Amino acid sequence: MAPGTALRSASPAVPAAVAAAGAGYLAAAAAPGLLAPAAAAVVLGGILAVLGGVRPRPSAGPDDSGAAAEPTILWRLRVSVRDAPGRLAQLAGGLAELGGNIRAVHVHPTDDGAVDEILLHTPRRVTAGALRRAVRATGGWGASAVRADVDELDDVPTRAFTLATRLVDGAELSRALRGVLGEIEVQFRDGDEPEDVTADGMLLRAPGGGTLQLRRRQAEFTPAEFARARAMAQLAATCQQRARVSERISAAGEELDLRRGDRSDVDAVERFHAACSRAARSERYAGSPADVRRLLTPALGRALLVLRDGEVVAMGTLACDADLEAGDLGLLVRDDWQRRGIGALLARRLVDEADAAGVGQVRAQTRVHNAAMARTLRAAGLRLGGVAEPGEWSWTRRTGRATGQETQPLCEC
């Protein structure tokens, strides 16, 4: 992904409650030892509960007793309002005239009032335009209305608990961010930039290095959402640091270490590349030089390293696109460690993680004469998909997401 244009740097003030909650999270994250899933989730759930400011559900909607229930759809309505007594009642009244039934309201304080995020059911005949007109008629502005998923009816602490637990289990940060911010675009920018939120979007430090740029077409980010997203990113970074513990594996009678790689391993991986023959590197990178820094960037995919006495002897990568539609599998084993089953082990691990993450398909490319790599990919479940370029084979494997199976996100892509 090419670096984007820098955002403006006029951050809105974050409310005192937001700052206090964030400080509580940082204190917990800094504690020694691995955060237990429940503990981490409770911490993040507390933050989001403070930030969410959930108002009691207003009584809105027509009296449908004795009448046949009309088919409804669920909307997420965001509207800017003056934070004054009676405003929510006026808004609820305007929505009730459309047959709207408010299910939940989350309040986001801003410098000039508040943004109310409302989940409501309406009859199917009600359109997004009708909802926006109802908002304007009751004094609101900047309204956006999009269809919502029934899972969004979970209260903020419950959703936070679920997302935090998944992060502790290894879920990818981009999916967790979408869980609290809705439909957003997430792009990676190489370089460490100050965290910020503006009318154009949001910048967050990416776990393992770099910066994540978040954008949303429907509505601007609020200070409360910025604090939520930053807490998510900090929790993901803490979990990633704890996940660097090595696992002992055996290959041809040798005891080796297997662990995740990140940007702190750049020097070790560059030494590993230098120790591999030119022929091995050309099979892996098709003649192009390896961009080691990108391969070891967690926000761009997953890297697994196999080490012996601290020296890298093999590396497997899964480079995922932003929407997790596909992941490109790559393997490189040092010449003196080839044909010992290490490549096959890495391929299976990465394919399993792609399955669990819901990546649509895993892809790979090999030279037509590379029979050993063809066997490795077949053993990992990939199948020959055709000729990508003259002299090259294309391999693919559809995952649980592509076949409609239930998946649990595990890949930091």
Nearest to 337 by CA among 253, 261, 242: 253
Q: Which CATH superfamily is domain 247-398 in?
A: Gcn5-related N-acetyltransferase (GNAT) (3.40.630.30)
DSSP 192-232: ----EE-SS-EEEEPTTSSEEEEE-SSSPPPHHHHHHHHHH
Phi, psi angles (nearest 5°) of residue 388: -70, -50
Nearest to 18 by CA among 165, 140, 163, 197: 197
User: pLDDT by residue (tens digit) across 234-263?
Assistant: 998 888 777 677 789 988 788 999 999 999
Please name every residue paired with 328 in a beta bridge, in sequence order, or none if there are none.
319, 363
DSSP state of 358: T
d(Cα 315, Cα 307) in Å, to the nearest integer? 9
User: pLDDT by residue (tens digit) across 304-338?
Assistant: 999 999 999 999 999 887 677 888 999 999 999 99
Domain extents in the chain: 16-53+154-242, 63-147, 247-398
Please name every residue paired with 211 in a beta bridge, in sequence order, or none if there are none.
189, 205
Answer whether residue 51 shows pLDDT above 70: no
CATH label, 63-147, candidates 3.40.50.620, 3.30.70.260, 3.40.50.2300, 3.40.50.720: 3.30.70.260
Answer whether residue 138 shows pLDDT above 60: yes
